[in-house]
Structure 1
Amino acid sequence: MNDDDRDNMLAAAVRLRTEGHQEEARQRLLSLSADFPADAEVAYQTAWAHDVLGLEAEAVPFYERCLAGTGLSQEDRRGALLGLGSTYRVLGQYEKAVEVLRGGAEQFPDNGALRTFLAMALFNTGEHHEAMRLLLELLAAGSTDPYVRRYRAAIEHYARDLHETV
């Protein structure tokens, strides 16, 4: 199979997934992944196909493979880090989730989704203060609510230390 065939098959499988034919997409991606085991983009799309079907445990090796490889776009790398981190969290592997999501948030500091999922994983590990800090910072920075905007400075201040009373 040449690169053009790979590209066409990958595009067809992604189209199937986006059109709601997840199982057919998954089967095609598994076949493509077997033909291109070192292809990070194929591994990412295969992980995603498993994830949307609720097959989180089966998605993990594909997420790990795509992140260990090269060739992912920055957008796909962000998606893979979020996918793997949130999948670890769903599987109850909270420490791994924190590690992946923290690394993703460091690589992509402007990505609020990574920080939100990191906050959830931190909550699961008992790191409630850091989880709340992250969420308050996101709220202060991104809310369009006029009342939240009015108190933005105070929210940002207290996000740093929720125990402060003065």
Structure 2
Amino acid sequence: MGSVAAIFILLLSIAHLTPPSHLFVSGDIKLIHNTCKKTTYYNLCMSSLKSSSSSLKADIKGLAVIMIGIAMKHANQTTTYLSSQLLSNTNDVVIKKVVKDCADKYSLAIESLQESLQQLDLMSSDYASLQVSAAKDYPNVCHNEYRRFAGLAYPIELAHREEKLEHMCDVALGIIDVLGW
């Protein structure tokens, strides 16, 4: 009787330590829908995740990874935009410095998002969230660079890109929160 009780206690402790089974269920459109409902930007979440064919096979952690990857791609495209569009269209030394600083901030956002993926691999949702939050803030630093120089207008296209990255990060944070680790 003692060994049966010990096995029962062991099974209970393992069940308690194992994440909920819904985190490992293969994804489908219903899982994507239910996960996106828990984020700030449902439509962005749905359209982003539905654009990736791997979303349909993903669990919740996989959906977070996919969303972070989409945010990384967007930040990378913004870095390219800054380098190719804004930097090449001016000879103004101040503007060139500000644009280079902005490109550096978007590169830092990419690094933070990469770090968040590593934290997800370690099942550390707190640190993953911290890194995504940092990535969300870097574009705002870029915006502040423009404000520091009187008369230097913040490009509308860059403002749209900043807002989109912030929203993507909010979606990723919402998905990470669903993990509940």
TM > 0.5 fold call? no
Q: How high is the TM-score relative to the length of structure 1?
A: 0.24
After TM superposition, the score normalised by the length of structure 2 is 0.22
| Structure with bigger gyration radius | 2
